[in-house]
């Protein structure tokens, strides 16, 4: 009784198989046609520029940032003011001259007699010059000169920090510009898949869920693109604050800052950086100040000269004129200053503290170099590995798309997973390369400086 029933189901199964084959024949051209349009979407990238052109572009941005920075204008003025302070102290060793005058009635009493004059006029001229003070003035001049160096190196260090910020922002802008392009391609790919599914669903309503899934992925890709565009605009606002408008056209800076500097060379260059030179000058200034405080207990020897004239008119005193000249040495000898010992000790301790702060800054800088060097190496290594995986992803993506067109070898979920992995890897590659370039810029800043590299 069961065998006839089994034979009756055979025609139905054959019909189902035939229907699937027929649907495959009908729908495959639709999928292939839509896929062909998707494949025609060329890979859009930022225009790559040669290394020298990239160096020129970044150098131009740095110069614009330096020219427009109010902070650098202020540090330049402070450096100039420090030079003027040095000239002021140096002038203490030059001859000094002063003139004083007086005019008015006078009253005098001598030997019990009082004399008055209706008008008395007087003038005096004094000239002096320091000959020797135990080296105190020389130490003060050295102190001011070192402070001028501190201000000058501070200006150079601020320039370097501004250059690093400008280069980092330019690279960050390039990062988001490339990400916007990648997400734009991802959106177009999902749009192509959605159009393909719309044609397929028109013939087979059973695949409507796949269309819903594609549209969901499309909206997610659009959300990523819009979010990245917002981040790009924020970076451009920050960059415009430094360099002004207009910003240069979008370019690929990948030809620059790709070689990781040698660690040993960077460690040596760290000692010659503007920041360490500033701390060196600050420590030397503290030492010079301590020596000047110590020398303040030495005698002071100066030569002095003067001329004076006085005239009295009217009153009980006969009109008379008096003149005088003087020339000699003035010697000042400190005898007792209880606070000088404490002041000298305090100045020496500050000098020692400044030297230790310089050593600490150098050690910290060298440790930072080692850390960033490892980060830079890891970023470029990650970029190479991602690039290798990306090539495999490209082959897998193409194979999955071809098998999906055959309607049965692969599902739509496999296709979307392959596409998502592919574009995710492209974003990872962009991030790894830009991270490496930015770390390279930090390394150069910790050593000889980004500004010197761009020259």
pLDDT for 111 equals: 62
Enter the tokens of residue 377: 């190496």
Q: Which domains occur in the chain, in start order? A: 28-454 (1.20.1600.10)
State the virtual CA torsion across 392, 398, 399, 400 in degrees, nearest 10: 100
Give DSSP secondary structure letters for 108-130: EEETTEEEEEEEEEEEEEEEEEE
| pTM higher than 0.75 | yes
C-alpha–C-alpha distance, residues 278 and 281, integer Å: 5
Sheet holding 113-132, edge to edge: 96-110, 113-132, 300-313, 320-332
Give the residue ranges of the chain where pLDDT is below 70.
1-45, 108-115, 314-320, 406-408
Residue 425's Cβ-side half-sphere holds a number of Cα atoms within 13 Å equal to 19
Per-residue model confidence as pLDDT tens digits over 355-400: 999 999 999 999 999 999 999 999 999 999 999 999 999 899 888 8
Q: Cα 39 vs. chain centroid, distance in angstroms?
A: 42
pLDDT for 117 equals: 72
pLDDT for 30 equals: 45
Specify the 3-state DSSP secondary structure of 227: helix
Q: Please answer whether residues 447 and 269 qualify as being in contact, where contact means their C-beta atoms are separated by less than 8 angstroms.
A: yes
Q: Please answer whether residues 302 and 129 qualify as being in contact, where contact means their C-beta atoms are separated by less than 8 angstroms.
A: yes
Q: Which residues contact 43 (CB under 8 A, 6 or more apart)?
A: 185
Per-residue model confidence as pLDDT tens digits over 37-59: 455 444 556 777 888 999 999 99
Residue 311 burial (CB count, 10 A): 16
C-alpha–C-alpha distance, residues 181 and 429, integer Å: 13
pLDDT for 255 equals: 87
Q: Cα 112 vs. chain centroid, distance in angstroms?
A: 82
pLDDT for 39 equals: 53
Enter the tokens of residue 229: 């565009």
Strands (E), 4-134: 96-110, 113-132
C-alpha–C-alpha distance, residues 164 and 76, integer Å: 19
Q: Which residues contact 429 (CB under 8 A, 6 or more apart)?
A: 383, 386, 387, 390
């Amino acid at each position: 009784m069961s065998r006839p029933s089994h034979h009756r189901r055979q025609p139905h199964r054959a019909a189902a198989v035939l229907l699937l084959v027929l649907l495959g024949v009908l729908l495959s051209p639709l999928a292939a046609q839509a896929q062909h349009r998707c494949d025609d979407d060329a890979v859009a990238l930022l225009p790559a520029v040669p290394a020298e052109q990239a160096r020129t572009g970044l150098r131009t941005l740095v110069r614009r940032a330096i020219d427009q920075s109010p902070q650098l204008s202020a540090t330049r003025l402070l450096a100039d003011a420090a030079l003027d302070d040095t000239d002021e102290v140096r002038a203490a060793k030059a001859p000094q001259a002063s003139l004083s005058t007086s005019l008015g009635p006078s009253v005098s009493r001598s030997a019990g007699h009082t004399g008055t004059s209706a008008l008395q006029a007087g003038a005096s001229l004094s000239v002096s010059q320091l000959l020797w003070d135990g080296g105190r003035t020389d130490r003060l001049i050295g102190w001011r000169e070192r402070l001028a160096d501190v201000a000058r190196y501070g200006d150079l260090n601020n320039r370097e920090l501004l250059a690093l910020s400008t280069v980092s922002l330019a690279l960050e802008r390039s990062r988001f510009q490339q990400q916007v392009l990648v997400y734009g391609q991802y959106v177009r790919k999902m749009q192509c898949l959605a159009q393909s599914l719309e044609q397929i669903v028109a013939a087979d309503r059973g695949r409507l869920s796949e269309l819903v899934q594609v549209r969901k992925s499309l909206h997610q890709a659009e959300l990523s693109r819009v979010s990245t565009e917002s981040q790009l605009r924020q970076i451009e606002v920050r960059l415009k604050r430094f360099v002004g408008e207009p910003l240069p056209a979008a370019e690929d800076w990948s030809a620059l800052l790709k070689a990781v500097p040698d660690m040993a060379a960077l460690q040596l260059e760290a000692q010659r950086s503007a920041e360490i030179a500033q701390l060196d000058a600050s420590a030397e200034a503290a030492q010079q100040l301590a020596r000047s405080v110590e020398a303040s207990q030495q005698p002071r020897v100066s030569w002095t000269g003067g001329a004076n004239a006085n005239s009295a008119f009217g009153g009980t005193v006969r009109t008379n004129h008096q003149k005088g000249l003087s020339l000699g040495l003035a010697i000042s000898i400190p005898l007792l200053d209880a606070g000088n010992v404490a002041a000298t000790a305090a100045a020496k301790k500050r000098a020692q503290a400044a030297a230790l702060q310089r050593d600490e800054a150098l050690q910290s800088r060298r440790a930072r170099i080692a850390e960033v060097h490892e980060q830079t190496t890891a970023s470029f290594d990650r970029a190479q590995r991602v690039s290798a995986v990306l090539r495999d992803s490209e082959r897998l993506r193409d194979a999955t798309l071809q098998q999906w067109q055959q309607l049965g070898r692969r599902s739509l979920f496999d296709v979307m997973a392959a596409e998502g992995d592919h574009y995710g890897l492209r974003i990872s590659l962009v991030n790894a390369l830009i991270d490496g370039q930015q770390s390279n810029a930090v390394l150069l800043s910790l050593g000889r400086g980004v500004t010197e590299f761009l020259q």
